[in-house]
Structure 1
Amino acid sequence: MRALAKLEQMLPPRLRYRVSTLHTATVRAGAAPTPKVSADTLMAIAEACRRRERLRFDYVSPRRSRSTRLVEPHSLVSFDRHWYLVAWDTDRTDWRTFRVDRLTPRTPTGPRFTPRELPDTDVATYLAHQLSSRTWPFQATITLHESAAAVTDRIWPGMGVVEPVDDDSCLLHLGADNPRDLAWMITSVDADFTLTDAPPELTDALHAHAARCLNAVRKA
């Protein structure tokens, strides 16, 4: 898409419009997505975002259940090697995120809608928060005893959301499949921390992690 943007003025009008539409509707946050979504699907969603038209699609959830959804699309987001649609779900009257590789758009789109205000500062921050706090079976919030600016570069895309507190601390919201992975993610940030809101299993995992490290040092 970056390459085509540079050549946009040289393209025929129809292709120029398609490039412009995809560029307008897309937010990039983190690594580039893997090529698992067809260009037609991306264009259908981008068109609905740009025209502010409701979008109906068939969706397969992570648990493989199927449903038909009707949404007011806000943005396409390239996040942590996947494409996501951020949209207002009209049936559930709430914001939702959808993996684009799990949806199949239906036609036609419409009617038009008035855009709603996101419940966060920007769409990338909102998506990161949703992925780290809602979709994982184990979630935690920890206080890092360094500023948000100091630790941001140590948080890889999709790991969690950093929330500034003051010049000497920040909150890190994150999630994982199990407490062991949470413990590894937290210690990989390489900062002093305090558990602020965490399941008891995480405490056990951190104790086991610490004991393993101490045993390794004693044997060295």
Structure 2
Amino acid sequence: MTSDLPARMLRLLSLLQTRREWSGTELADRLGVTGRTIRRDIDRLRELGYPVEGTTGHSGGYRLASGTAMPPLLLDDDEATATAVALRTAVGHLTGMEETALRALAKLEQVLPHRLRTQVAALHQATTTIDWGQRGPRTDPTVLALLAAACRDHETVTFDYTTRGGTQAPRRVEPHHLIASGGLWYLLAHDTAQDDWRIYRLDRMTAPTPTRHHFPPRPVPGEDPAAYVAGKIATAPVRYRAIATVREPAETIRRRTWALADRIQPLDTNTCTIDCSSNHLPGIAHTLTALDTDYTLDADPQVTAYLRQAAERLHHAATYQAGGQTSPHDRPTTPRGDTHK
């Protein structure tokens, strides 16, 4: 029996935070007290600002609901350590949420017990992340939270959306999943006007607004939201077409490049194709260089022209020697054309 009032209150709060709903009988059994004591303790939690709701049913129950302010959370040792590590990781990987994650991490570390603070500090000191200098558009945490709640609650959302071509139009969608990839956030949703699935980049949304209209959830095409979005991104129209036929097994090429798996297709055990098509010519050149083997290329004229220019630059850099006949000022000038448009 938990007779110490503060200890019992903390234990009760911990139980309410681990499950959606508890019956009064279950809570009384867990704490070794009567149902009357549970009711008094629930009233004490409410006085402290915890929004504990009563539920109807055979014996009645309780659940911790959302309130106007976030009350203190109780985390066990493993939960606290995992949360601290996740926040530290978010600082390096969630573009646009670094400051928010650091504030939350500072608050958590301030109240960690010494033994856990030492463990978390050791982990932070022994690990780091690689910053490749590639940052996607900044993500508004408020927008991310709003859309996540709409996905969870099956609530229709409206927003203005700017397409790749720069045009803007209103959208009304049924949100289902959020997917993060390559520094970008995507929303997989069913567009009510088009009556079809669509993928929206969060950085192109303006003023997303819940409508309070709820919808029945739909089965996602392919059953795996991440795989569906990855496939759509891989096959989306791009400005420059470039497909290489490589004299290497598909698995070898997958290990050498960051290309999506769907873009690499085996022709036989020793040959495959890789779709390097992109909106950015330097990106195509980077992917082809990473192949590190012989290949043939089927590409748009703009791609081959850019690759010739890049090859000339590389050749010149490789053959230049200080004091030799070639000087840096003799490098051929090449028109940038529409390379960076």
Aligned-partner Cα distance in 2 for 1:65–1:82: 20
User: Alpha-carbon deviations, 1:137-177, whole Å to 9, x = none?
Assistant: 223333333333323243337x7853342433333233333
Aligned-partner Cα distance in 2 for 1:160–1:210: 27
Which structure 2 residues correspond to residues 12-91 of structure 1 after superposition, within 5 A?
13=64, 14=66, 32-35=93-96, 36-91=138-193
The answer on 1:115 being equivalent to 2:222 is: no
Counterpart of 2:263 in 1: which secondary structure?
Answer: strand
Query: What amino acid is the match of 2:180?
Result: S
After TM superposition, the score normalised by the length of structure 1 is 0.68
Between structures 1 and 2, the one with greater helix share: 2
Deviation at 1:34, TM superposition (A): 0.4
Query: What amino acid is the match of 1:115?
Result: R
Query: What amino acid is the match of 1:97?
Result: I
Aligned partners of 2:150 and 2:210 also within 8 Å:
no
5+ residue gaps, structure 1: 1-7, 17-30
User: Alpha-carbon deviations, 1:10-47, whole Å to 9, x = none?
Assistant: 9x84478xxxxxxxxxxxxxx83302333332222122
Deviation at 1:180, TM superposition (A): 4.7
Query: What amino acid is the match of 1:107?
Result: P
Aligned-partner Cα distance in 2 for 1:207–1:136: 21
Counterpart of 2:94 in 1: which secondary structure?
Answer: coil
Q: Which of residues 166, 173, 183 in structure 1 aligns to 2:285?
A: 183
Query: What amino acid is the match of 1:202?
Result: V
Which structure 2 residues correspond to residues 71-220 of structure 1 after superposition, within 5 A?
71-103=173-205, 104-118=207-221, 122-134=224-236, 136-156=238-258, 161-165=262-266, 166-196=268-298, 198-219=299-320
How many residue pairs are counted as aligned between the two chains? 195
Which structure 2 residues correspond to residues 1-12 of structure 1 after superposition, within 5 A?
9=18
Distance 1:65 1:141, change over 3 A: same
Structure with greater Cα Rg = 2
Counterpart of 1:152 in 2: which secondary structure?
Answer: helix
Deviation at 1:69, TM superposition (A): 0.7
Distance 1:79 1:40, change over 3 A: same
Counterpart of 1:136 in 2: which secondary structure?
Answer: coil
Distance 1:209 1:121, change over 3 A: farther
Aligned partners of 2:191 and 2:197 also within 8 Å:
yes
Deviation at 1:76, TM superposition (A): 0.5
Superposed CA RMSD: 3.4
5+ residue gaps, structure 2: 1-16, 20-49, 51-63, 74-91, 97-137, 322-341
Aligned-partner Cα distance in 2 for 1:155–1:85: 26
After TM superposition, the score normalised by the length of structure 2 is 0.47
User: Alpha-carbon deviations, 1:72-126, whole Å to 9, x = none?
Assistant: 32310111112111223232344322111332322224341342442x5743344
Query: What amino acid is the match of 2:140?
Result: S
Residue identity (%): 28
